[in-house]
Structure 1
Amino acid sequence: MTRILIVGAGATGGYFGARLAGAARDVTFLVRPRRAAELRADGLRITTPEGTERLEPKLVTATELDAPYDLILLTVKAGPLDAALHDLKPAVGPRTVIVPFLNGVDHLDVIGTQFPSAVLGAVVKVAAQLTPDGAITVSGPAASLEIGELDGQHTTRLCDAAAALDGAGFDVDVSDHILTSMWHKWVFIATTTTITCLAQGTIGDVAAVGGGKEFSEAVLAETAAVSDAAGHPLPDAAYVALQATMTQEGSPFAPSMYRDIKDARPTEVEHVLAALAREAKRHDLATPLINAAVVRLRVHNQHVANAPRPS
């Protein structure tokens, strides 16, 4: 049986890991000591529209890793990525495959520098949040995972990874163009983040005010132009569909970084928006709206870092 290591047990890692464990896969979570204590005391709790379930997960901390795993799902955010890569070194062997769940594409080079040829590309979709008491709440439709070799080949290890992940309660697809899929998800996240964080409202809030739809369309034009310049253009139908999503009146949607602002948590501005702005500059593209959102979120992160800590 494929040995699977889930690095992180937050909303995304906890959800996918719980589904895999529930499907009788050999799943272990690599977590920090504090999270390990929470999970040992309360279990891994998942609440969906269908109800709540509780799992007793198999856990390890970094000092307890002593052998390679076959498949590693890297579900941490960009901030703790370097620390996570350091921690998981004992779990990486010559045949280990790493599937990172991060947004954007910069992390591929970071991981590849330490673990050459081990990385697959991936696009993850799930509407999940970690509640203050450590539980995971899933509010959206069925989750999905798209994976692929960065060069588009159909390899044995890709097929083995897909087989190990399939049939666990979420959709699994193998892609011949995973980098394009990653870019298109990046466009979606960057667009919704720029719109909601600059305007300080949901997609529907912005669409409901004068000039709101035009503002959202201008943001999408910037992000899509960067993807196009990078060699991953949005097909016309996909662009029109995104345009409709970004201007939908009454839409309650807001991305995770908007919620981070509301909850006074640090955001992934450097990995998601600043990285896209750098890519735009490399192609001599002007992105004033993305640049403004970068400044806005950097100021927010600074405020969070400087805020007094509870005694």
Structure 2
Amino acid sequence: MRLLVVGAGSTGGYFGGRLAQAGRDVTFLVRPKRAAQLRQDGLRIISPHGDLTLNPALVTAEDLAHPYDAVLLTVKAYQLEAALDDLAPAIGPDTMILPVLNGMRHMDILSRRFNPRNVVGCALKVATVLENDGSIVQLSPLQDLAYGELDGSVTPRIRVLDAFMQGTGIDARLSTAIRREMWEKWVLLATVGAITCLMRGTIGEVEACTGGATLASHLLDEVAAIVRAVGESPSDAFMHVARTQITAAGSSLVSSMFRDLQRGRRVEVEEIIGDLVRHAATAGIAIPLLSATYVHLLVYQHKLDGDS
């Protein structure tokens, strides 16, 4: 199997790097600036699972000329539209697209642009950050990559993909409930993002405040209510684990949105929070806390856009 990783940032660089380290056939599609940085310094990973520096196979958009067996799509959600033209030559009739973007809007965009059959469900849980020097730092040992056919079937192609992913030093698994897992990921991501960005602190710092755990629990309920109305209902087991995570005393848990906010970077406010707010409006669901988060992050984003 030949895999194209679109993007060599914190997510694509980490997982693509681990796969390449294990001897898999991996090529990175990157912008010229990132290509120059990687050719000069190599792809550098700092991780609890072991540090790594390698010289990966690279390609830029103008040099992409043939389809790949699979494409791991790891760009930020707000970069997706711009990336579609770049990656189009890599998509053939049988190419599997594995998007690890946040939210769910990208699934419709990819299905419209390519063939719906090309799109495979994918849910990723990892905490990584791209430093200014181009290195990728994994912040915790968690690295869970799930994938599967959207209808839950176990097809020959998904078995081949699973075999490609196994034995590579990443926690990869085939899921027959991937669509539900993707919605559950959005529930947790939006909830943790809303708590940490609105309150400007870690889960533990919020919990330590009077009413903090109650606020966090209410935010989870708002997000879950939206998803139950418009998507795949989260399981009871997931909700129990999620509620425990967002109210844990002393927890250092934060969201990727909050890390980006702290660094003065763009945040995926529309894809992670805004889409949920719009779904809630359509479904007639009251979401005062999530709406406040949305406005709060829009103010930040507008200031950032104005400065740039």
TM-score (norm 2): 0.96
Aligned counterpart, 1:187? 187
Deviation at 1:35, TM superposition (A): 0.2
- For residues 233 and 65 of structure 2, the distance between their equivalents in structure 1, rounded to whole angstroms, comes to 44
Residue type matched to 1:224 in 2? Answer: A
Say if 2:123 and 2:185, in contact at 8 Å, map to a contact too: yes
| Residues 63-96 of structure 1, C-alpha deviations (whole Å, 9 max, x = no match) | 0001111110000011110111110111111111
User: Counterpart of 1:161?
Assistant: 161
- SS where residue 66 of structure 1 aligns? coil
For residue 129 of structure 1, give the secondary structure of its aligned residue in structure 2: strand
Shift in Å, 1:230: 2.6
2:76 maps to what in 1?
Answer: 77
1:227 is matched with which residue? 227
| Map of 2:289 onto structure 1 | 289
C-alpha deviation, 1:169, in angstroms? 0.7
Q: Measure, in 2, the Cα distance between the counterparts of 1:9 and 1:231.
A: 30
Secondary structure of the equivalent of 1:244? helix
Distance 1:156 1:50, change over 3 A: closer
Letter matched to residue 64 of structure 2 = L
Aligned twin of 1:21: 20
Query: In 2, Cα distance between the equivalents of 1:82 and 1:13?
Result: 17
Aligned residues: CA RMSD: 1.2
- What secondary structure does 1:69 align onto? coil
> Do 1:142 and 1:170's aligned partners in 2 also have CA atoms closer than 8 Å?
no
Runs of at least 4 residues off by over 2 Å: 49-52, 230-238
Q: Which residue of 2 aligns with 1:108?
A: 107
Letter of the structure 2 residue corresponding to residue 60 of structure 1: V
Q: Is the 8 A contact 2:127 2:256 kept in 1?
A: no
| Matched AA of 1:269 | V
Q: Confirm or deny: 8 A CA contact 1:30 1:59 kept in the other structure.
A: yes
Secondary structure at 2:51's aligned position in 1? Answer: strand
Give the alignment of 1:90-169 within 5 angstroms.
90-116=89-115, 117-169=117-169
Aligned mates of 1:280, 1:46 — CA distance in 2? 39
* In 2: Cα distance, 1:215 partner to 1:194 partner: 11
Distance 1:138 1:244 in 2: 23
Between the aligned partners of 1:214 and 1:194, the Cα distance in structure 2 is 14
| 1:199 aligned onto 2:238 | no
- Which residues of structure 2 form unaligned runs of 5+? none
Distance 2:118 2:131 in 1: 33
Q: Which residue of 2 aligns with 1:278?
A: 278
Helix, strand or coil at the partner of 1:251: coil
CA displacement, residues 29-78 of structure 1 (integer Å, 9 cap, x when unaligned): 00000000000000000111354321001000000001111110000011
Q: Distance in 1 between matches of 2:211 and 2:71?
A: 45
**1:209 corresponds to:** 209
Q: 1:4-23: per-residue Cα shift (whole Å, max 9, x none)?
A: 10000001100111111111
Q: Are the structure 2 counterparts of residues 4 and 133 from structure 1 closer, same or farther at C-alpha, using a change threshold of 3 Å?
A: same
Q: What is the total number of aligned residue pairs between the two structures?
A: 307
Separation (CA, whole Å) in 2 of partners of 1:101 and 1:149 = 14
Tell me the CA shift for residue 142 of structure 1. 4.1
1:232 Cα offset (Å): 2.4
Q: C-alpha distance in 2, partners of 1:238/1:79?
A: 28
Matching residue's letter, 2:37:
E
CA shift for structure 1 position 233: 2.4
Alpha-carbon deviation of 1:177? 1.6
Partner AA of 2:299 in structure 1: V
Q: Which residue of 2 aligns with 1:68?
A: 67
Deviations 1:247-294 (A, max 9, x none): 112111110111111111110010111111122222221111111111
- Alpha-carbon distance between aligned partners in 2 of 1:235 and 1:8, rounded to the nearest angstrom: 32
Distance, in Å, in 2 between the alignment partners of 1:97 and 1:234 is 26
Seq. identity, %? 47
Deviations 1:182-237 (A, max 9, x none): 01010000001111111111111110011111111110110111122235223333
**Aligned residue type for 1:177:** A
Mean Cα deviation higher: 158-167 or 263-272: 158-167
> Residue 128 of structure 1: CA displacement?
1.0
- Structure 1: gaps spanning 5 or more residues: none
